[in-house]
Amino acid sequence: MPQIPEKIHELTVGQLAARSGAAVSALHFYESKGLISSRRTAGNQRRYARDALRRVAFVRAAQRVGIPLATIREALAELPEERTPTREDWARLSETWRSELDERIKQLNRLRDHLTDCIGCGCLSLESCVLSNPDDVFGERRAGSRLMVERPSPEGVRRPDACR
């Protein structure tokens, strides 16, 4: 991995790509979405402040766990410009995502635990499957797939929507 001398305070897009592991096209995309920023030289070349390295790492880590880019952008907007996010910043910003991640984990666990029940249609329930439910009674109530989406039952117990 190429090392960037401390005296260099700005990086070219190629240096940022090499150091961050992100493709140049990804960096351009991140910039177009307001996740990172650059200035232009007199020759119209992009130059990124060193803090862009940490911001790119932040974006890529958040993307890996499924955080939408709009949510990442909102989080990064809370940081002062030209400041590298610190460990405390990451902890504070990621705390806001904890409940969303916990919900995704629950949904993935439900999917894993009930995957063998699925016969391929995505409903995860023989009662609402088009193959065993040709009149599509379930489809009359709502359109679209509801792959293991929870909903509260009348008794207050949460259960998968498709398994009613």
User: Are 31 and 48 a contacting pair, CB within 8 Å?
Assistant: no
Position 38 scores a pLDDT of 93
C-alpha triplet 77, 83, 89: angle, nearest 5°: 65
15-54 per-position pLDDT tens digit: 999 999 999 999 999 999 999 999 999 999 999 998 899 8
Position 98 scores a pLDDT of 85
User: Are 147 and 138 a contacting pair, CB within 8 Å?
Assistant: no
Per-residue pLDDT of the chain (164 residues; tens, 9 = 90+): 556 556 668 999 999 999 999 999 999 999 999 999 999 999 999 999 988 998 899 899 888 888 889 988 888 888 766 666 678 877 887 787 888 888 888 888 877 776 665 555 556 555 555 444 455 555 566 555 543 455 555 555 444 444 43
Residue 159's region, left for phi above 0, alpha for psi from -120 to 50, else beta, is beta
Q: Length of the chain, please?
A: 164
What are the tokens at 7? 């005296």
Helix or strand holding residue 46 (H, E): strand 46-49
Position 43 scores a pLDDT of 93
Position 101 scores a pLDDT of 84
A 10 A CB-CB count for 59 gives 25
pLDDT above 90 as % of the chain: 26
